[in-house]
């Protein structure tokens, strides 16, 4: 069994919210008591509706969002980085090891910089290289791995398509030689044919560079194509987590079942209908007590409806974890 590269323990992230200067400040708990282990070399998928806390969790793991309670530990060849106690010097070192691929390839690149300068910027900011020649060599090497040639390096971002821009973003994220990548909806803004090209590139780079991904997406068909492990988030909580094939073959939580039922099928014999959930996802400022899914759950037990079941994952099969309310209702 491979070792863990990231351990997330009882992690919660809260934000202060004030509607206007006369109103009272409120706490929004965007991520609530998350426990996950990401194994080295894995492609870990995180799915859920918009507003479920996926991006907040990814940013907290990178140290970009302040952790309210719990901790995140990055394991690097015998050395541990605890993001709750990390100092500024250690954070600079951690930035080299964990990077982010942004969602929008159009907004993520400066229109005033050449592709060479965009890719080289992390090397210069983090002072990884000692000379322009060394920087150029690193840039050319990672550009080639991302299917960009020397001519591309002299151009500006406006000259490229969406797929090419995303390859530039990937090259920029990888030029510091990181070990862990958070890909936040990194193919959502692309056409389907281009999505496949970028996903195949990410898998190829994973094998070549021994990378570990946290892949955030709302598209279950994409997640099924690339991910080894999948965690399902709802209103700041993980409600189910399992190996990808097991989750798609045997979903146990009602929310996971509803998400999977919404995937279009090309099989004309498949007459199954999508499970429709009533209402909208509740506000994180005033979440339901007990199980946060109980207000929309089509199979809520009497205790679940009353909010008498506290949330928490239980292992129902080897490596298949389901929220305890989902076990009784699913």
- pLDDT tens column, 45-73: 999 988 899 999 999 999 999 999 999 99
Rounded CA-CA distance 291/312 in Å is 9
Measured CA to CA, the distance from residue 280 to residue 24 in angstroms comes to 25
23 three-class SS: coil
Positive or negative torsion for Cα 154, 158, 164, 167: positive
Name the pLDDT band for 280 (thresholds 50, 70, 90). confident
285-291: average pLDDT: 85
Task: Check residue 266 and give its pLDDT.
Answer: 52
Of residues 259 and 116, more confidently modeled:
116
Q: Around 252, how many Cα atoms within 13 Å sit in the side-chain half-sphere? A: 24
Tokens of 211: 């990378």
Mean pLDDT of the chain: 90
pTM of the model: 0.91
Say whether pLDDT at 1 is over 60: no
- 156-205: per-residue pLDDT in tens? 999 999 999 999 999 999 999 999 999 999 988 888 889 999 999 999 99
Predicted local confidence at residue 87, as pLDDT: 94
What confidence tens digit (pLDDT) does each residue in 94-103 have? 999 999 998 8
Backbone angles phi, psi at 24, to 5 degrees: -80, 145
């Amino acid at each position: 069994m491979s070792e863990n590269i990231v351990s997330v323990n009882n992690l919660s992230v809260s934000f202060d919210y004030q509607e206007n200067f006369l109103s009272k400040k409120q706490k929004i708990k965007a991520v609530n008591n998350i426990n996950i282990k990401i194994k080295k070399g894995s492609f870990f998928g995180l799915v859920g509706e918009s507003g479920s806390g996926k991006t907040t969790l990814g940013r907290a793991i990178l140290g970009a969002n302040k952790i309210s309670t719990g901790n995140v530990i990055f394991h690097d060849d015998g050395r541990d980085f605890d993001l709750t106690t990390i100092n500024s010097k250690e954070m600079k070192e951690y930035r080299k090891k964990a990077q982010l691929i942004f969602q929008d390839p159009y907004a993520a690149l400066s229109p005033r910089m050449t592709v060479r300068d965009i890719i080289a910027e992390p090397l210069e900011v983090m002072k990884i290289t000692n000379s322009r020649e060394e920087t150029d060599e690193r840039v050319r090497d990672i550009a080639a791995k991302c299917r960009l040639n020397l001519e591309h390096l002299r151009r500006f971002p406006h000259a490229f398509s969406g797929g090419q821009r995303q390859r530039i973003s990937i090259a920029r994220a990888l030029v510091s030689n990181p070990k862990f990548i958070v890909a936040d909806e990194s193919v959502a803004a692309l056409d389907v044919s281009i999505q496949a090209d970028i996903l195949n590139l990410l898998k190829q780079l994973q094998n070549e560079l021994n990378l570990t991904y946290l892949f955030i997406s709302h598209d279950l068909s994409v997640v099924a194509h690339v991910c080894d492990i999948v965690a399902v988030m709802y209103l700041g909580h993980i409600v189910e987590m399992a190996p990808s094939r097991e989750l798609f073959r045997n979903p146990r939580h009602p929310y996971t079942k509803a998400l999977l039922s919404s995937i279009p099928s090309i099989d004309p014999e498949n007459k199954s209908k999508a499970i429709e959930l009533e209402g909208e996802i509740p506000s994180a400022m005033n979440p339901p007590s007990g199980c946060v899914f109980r207000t929309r759950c089509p199979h809520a037990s009497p205790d679940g409806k009353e909010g008498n079941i506290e949330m928490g994952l239980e292992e129902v099969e080897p490596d298949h974890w389901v929220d305890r309310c989902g076990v009784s209702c699913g």
